Structure 1
Amino acid sequence: MKQPHDLIITTMLFCTLAACNDTRDATSAMPMPAPQTATVDAGHCGSDGVSLVAGSSCVRSSAILASARAQPLQVTQAASLEPTALFDWAESTYPGLFPGHKADQTIAPYLLRYYPETQSYMGVADGLVYGYGPYTGNVLVSFGKLADFSCTVLPASCGLPGAPQSVTAVAGNASATLSFTAPASSGGADISSYTASCVAGGQRLSASAVSSPISVTGLSNGTSYSCTVSASNVYGTGSASAAVVVTPVGASSGTFSLSSSAGSNGGTMPADYTCDGMGSSPQLSWSGAPAGTKEFAILMTTLPGDGTTKWNWVVYGIPATATAMGRDALGVGTYGVGSDGPFRGYQAPCSQGPGAKLYTFTVYALSGSPSLSGTPVSGQALASAIAPLTLASAALNLSYTRPSNPPGSTAACMNP
C-alpha cells in the first residue's frame, strides 16, 4: 500500500514554476489558511482522486492520497502519534522539502511548523494533517488523519496483538464456552476478532467472535480438550493464550444424584459417623452418571469457624462401574489423607466448636484419571487435579451437633 507521504512527491510535480520560485522573504512566516479553506464540493468526495472525507466535510487532497486511502486503513490504538513526531519524520524523510524549521507554533487551530527556506508549512488541527506552500501549489491540502500516519512514523507500534488474558472454560454438552479479557497490547491496531481453539487427539475445533465469550461446538463428550484463545488485527493473528483444560459434559441417563442410608440431604448425621460414636464411614449410593465417565472420586468437607476448607474423606480411582460405597467400605478406590492426617481413610468429624456443623459429601464423575504427584494425596491436591476432568458432581449435606460433654476425640476416630 502506498504511504500517505507519497503525496509530498506527487504534489511537487504539480508545483508551478512561478510558485516554486517564490521570492518572498524566506524568514517571515506566511499565514496558514484556516482548515475550512480546504473544504471542497462534497458531491463526489473521495471518488475524484483529489479529495477525501474528513469528519463531516470533504477536503482537498491529491490523487495519490485518495488511491492509498481506498485500501483498508489501520486505526491505531496502542500508538498515540504526536504532531511533532510526524514533523520530525517528514524532515528526516524529505530534508530537501523540509530543511530545518522554526520552533513549533500553536496558532489556533493549528500546531504547526514553518520551513523558511521552502516557505512551506505542515500543521495539525483537530486530528487532521495539513500542508501549505509551494509544494502544494500554494493551496491548503489535507493529508488525512494524524492517526493514519502512526504505522509509518512509529512502525514499532504496529504489529500482532498480544495473547488474551484470564481465560476460563465452562463445559457444555459437546461444547465448551471460553471467557477471556483483551490482550495487554492490541499491536497498534484495532482487534478485529478472537478465535477459540480446542484440541484433543490431533483434532482441532475452532470458533471466532468479536468479543468474549466464545462457544466451541462439535466436541466429543467425555474427552478432555486443551483450549486457547488468540486475537487478530489487520496485521495477522497473535500468540495464543495459556491453555485451559475442559471436558464436555454428555447427556446423562438422568440427574446425577447422591444418597446415603446415613440420612437425607439436609438432615442430621447420626453420631455413629462421628468421633462421638464408632467413627464409621457412611454408605453412599449414586446414579445418573453422565456418558463418558471413566471413574469416580469422593470428597467430604466441612467449613470450620475460620472459614478454611477441612477435608474428612479423600477417595479416588473408584471404578466407573461402581454405583455405591458400603458402610466402612475398604478396597474400593484409593484413599488419600484428610486434614487430620497422617492416616489415610475416613476421618470422622470431631468438631471442637459449639453448634451444628454442616458436612458435605460430594461424588465426582470424571472423564479420566487425575494426574497426582506424591502420596498420600491431600484433599486440596485431589480437588485441583479433578477440576478439569469433572463431567458432573452430586452432593449430600448432613449436619451434626456435638453434645455438651462429647465422649470422642479426633485422634480416636481415624480409620487406617
Structure 2
Amino acid sequence: MNSRTPRPPHGSSRAGPPPRPGRRTFGAVCAAVGALVLAAPGCGVLSPGSNGQTSDDITVTSTMIREGEAIPARFTCKGEGVSPPLRWSGLPDETESLAIIVDDPESVGGAAVHWVLYGLDPENPELPEGTVPQNGKQGQNSKEQAAYDPPCPSGDTAHEFRFTVYALKADIALPDGAPLDQALGAVASNTLARGRLIATGGR
C-alpha cells in the first residue's frame, strides 16, 4: 500500500435528501450497468470476477452483526434505522480507496441497493455506527436517495442483507448523490478485492 500519514477517523451523521416516491427495482439498474451488479440469478452487485481480477480476500466484521444471523432491529426500518458499525482487514497493498454497498437480493419487487458509500480512506479500518466519514460520499440507493435506506425485513420472505466492502485501485471521481448505475459502474471498474458480511431477516 502506498505510504500515507495515518489520520484519525472522522464521523458525522448525514441526512440524505427527502424521500422520493417509489423504489427503483434492481432490474432497471441491471439494464443500465449490464453484468456489473448484485449477485443474484441473472444480475450479478459486483459479483466475483466481474472485472477479471476481483478476489474475496477482505474480511468484514461488526460488533453488532454476526454472520448469518438476524439483523438487529436497530439497523432496520423497525428500529432506529441507522447504519451498523463495520470493520475490515486484508486489503490489497494497491488499495487507494474503499467503497461499501449494502443490498438485499430478495427484496419484494426485485433486488434492492440500500446504501452506496465511496471515497473512504483505506488507512481507516472501520466505519462507526450511523456515520459517514468526512471524506466519504454517498451515491443514490434504489429509492434514489443519497443515504442509508434501512432494510425492512418482512415475516413472510427470507432476506439476506449484504454489507460488502470493496478495495479500489483508484478513488471514485463522483460527487455526493451520484446516480446508482454510475456509482456501481465506477466501483466495478476499480475493484481489486471485496469482502462481505451477510445478515438475515424475515421468516
Same fold (TM over 0.5): yes
Q: Is residue 112 of structure 2 the alignment partner of residue 310 of structure 1?
A: yes
Distance 1:249 1:350 in 2: 30
Pairwise CA distance, 1:356: 2.8
Q: Is residue 197 of structure 2 the alignment partner of residue 386 of structure 1?
A: no
Larger Rg: 1 or 2? 1
Distance 2:103 2:147 in 1: 14
Pairwise CA distance, 1:297: 0.2
Distance 2:78 2:54 in 1: 40
Q: Give the root-mean-square deviation of aligned CA atoms.
A: 2.7
Matches within 5 A, 1:348-359: 348-351=150-153, 354-359=156-161
Asked whether the 8 Å contact 1:299–1:361 carries over to 2, the reply is yes
Deviations 1:155-214 (A, max 9, x none): xxxxxxxxxxxxxxxxxxxxxxxxxxxxxxxxxxxxxxxxxxxxxxxxxxxxxxxxxxxx
Distance 1:378 1:262 in 2: 30
**Alignment-derived partner of residue 319 in structure 1:** 121
What amino acid sits opposite 1:323 in the alignment?
P
Pairwise CA distance, 1:256: 1.6
What amino acid sits opposite 1:324 in the alignment?
E
What amino acid sits opposite 1:361 in the alignment?
F
Q: Secondary structure at the match of 2:93?
A: coil
What amino acid sits opposite 1:334 in the alignment?
K
Q: Secondary structure at the match of 1:383?
A: helix
Asked whether the 8 Å contact 1:249–1:290 carries over to 2, the reply is no
Distance 1:379 1:301 in 2: 12
What amino acid sits opposite 1:293 in the alignment?
T
Distance 2:97 2:124 in 1: 8
Q: Is residue 183 of structure 2 the alignment partner of residue 400 of structure 1?
A: no
Q: Is residue 165 of structure 2 the alignment partner of residue 363 of structure 1?
A: yes
Distance 1:309 1:249 in 2: 22
Stretches of structure 1 lacking an aligned partner (at least 5 in a row)? 1-245, 403-416
Matches within 5 A, 1:12-161: none
Asked whether the 8 Å contact 2:57–2:193 carries over to 1, the reply is no
Q: Secondary structure at the match of 2:60?
A: strand
What amino acid sits opposite 1:384 in the alignment?
G
1:339 alignment partner, one of 135, 142, 145? 142
Asked whether the 8 Å contact 1:247–1:367 carries over to 2, the reply is no
Asked whether the 8 Å contact 1:299–1:379 carries over to 2, the reply is no
Distance 1:293 1:277, change over 3 A: same
Distance 2:54 2:94 in 1: 8
Pairwise CA distance, 1:249: 7.1
Q: Secondary structure at the match of 1:362?
A: strand
In proportion to residue count, which structure has more helix? 1
Distance 1:355 1:248 in 2: 34
Q: Secondary structure at the match of 2:133?
A: coil
What amino acid sits opposite 2:78 in the alignment?
D
Distance 1:324 1:265, change over 3 A: same
Distance 1:270 1:352, change over 3 A: closer
**Alignment-derived partner of residue 77 in structure 2:** 275
Q: Secondary structure at the match of 1:363?
A: strand
Pairwise CA distance, 1:375: 5.3
**Alignment-derived partner of residue 43 in structure 1:** none
Pairwise CA distance, 1:330: 2.9
Distance 1:384 1:394 in 2: 18
Distance 2:152 2:183 in 1: 22
Distance 1:396 1:379, change over 3 A: farther
Matches within 5 A, 1:293-308: 293-303=95-105, 304-306=107-109, 308=110
Stretches of structure 2 lacking an aligned partner (at least 5 in a row)? 1-50
Pairwise CA distance, 1:262: 2.2
In proportion to residue count, which structure has more strand? 1
Pairwise CA distance, 1:384: 1.2
What amino acid sits opposite 1:385 in the alignment?
A
How many residues are paired up?
152
**Alignment-derived partner of residue 30 in structure 2:** none
Q: TM-score, normalised by structure 1?
A: 0.34
Q: Secondary structure at the match of 2:181?
A: helix
What amino acid sits opposite 2:202 in the alignment?
T
